[in-house]
């Protein structure tokens, strides 16, 4: 199975900060990577697919980059609604696997 390693596990930041979350795959996955946002008690929300393509309706302050084994999710200017947990997921090969998540909390 492909292991997905996210860092950091927790990130403390303030409104307006630029935030970057890293996701590393244990094998090359090309750009078959998605990012999701999850708030407590809610289902994950689809943000980005193919490593860098923003889903329709997702604010442009979110961006994704990377290919192969190294990926990043960047929030250019953190907003109050962005405090949540973020997960990466590979869909290059079976079984699909997720990172353990990065919790973005208020500093």
Convert 48-87 to b/e letters by CB count within 10 Å (16 or more is b): bbebbeeeeebeeebbbebeebebbbebeebeeebebbbb
Q: What is the distance of C-alpha 68 from the center of its chain?
A: 16
Of the ranges 16-24, 37-45, 58-66, 67-75, which one interacts with other proteins (CB under 8 A)? 37-45
- Minimum CB separation of residue 52 from other proteins in Å reads 12
Contact residue for other proteins among 21, 23, 32, 71 (CB under 8 A): 32
Q: Tell me phi and psi for residue 81, to 5 degrees.
A: -75, -10
Residues numbered 40 to 79 that lie near other proteins (CB under 8 A) are: 43-46, 49-50, 55
Of the ranges 19-27, 59-67, 71-79, 94-102, which one interacts with other proteins (CB under 8 A)? 94-102
- The structure tokens listed for 64 are 């994704």
- Minimum CB separation of residue 96 from other proteins in Å reads 4
Residue 103 in the binding site for other proteins (CB under 8 A): no
């Amino acid at each position: 199975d492909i292991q997905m390693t996210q860092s950091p596990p927790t990130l403390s930041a303030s409104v307006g900060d630029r935030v970057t979350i890293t996701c590393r795959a244990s094998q090359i996955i090309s750009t078959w990577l998605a990012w999701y946002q999850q708030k407590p008690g809610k289902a994950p929300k689809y943000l980005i697919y193919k490593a860098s393509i923003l889903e329709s309706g997702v604010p442009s302050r979110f961006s994704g980059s990377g290919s192969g084994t190294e990926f990043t999710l960047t929030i250019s200017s953190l907003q109050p609604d962005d405090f949540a947990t973020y997960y990466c997921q590979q869909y290059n090969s079976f079984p699909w696997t997720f990172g353990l998540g990065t919790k973005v909390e208020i500093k």
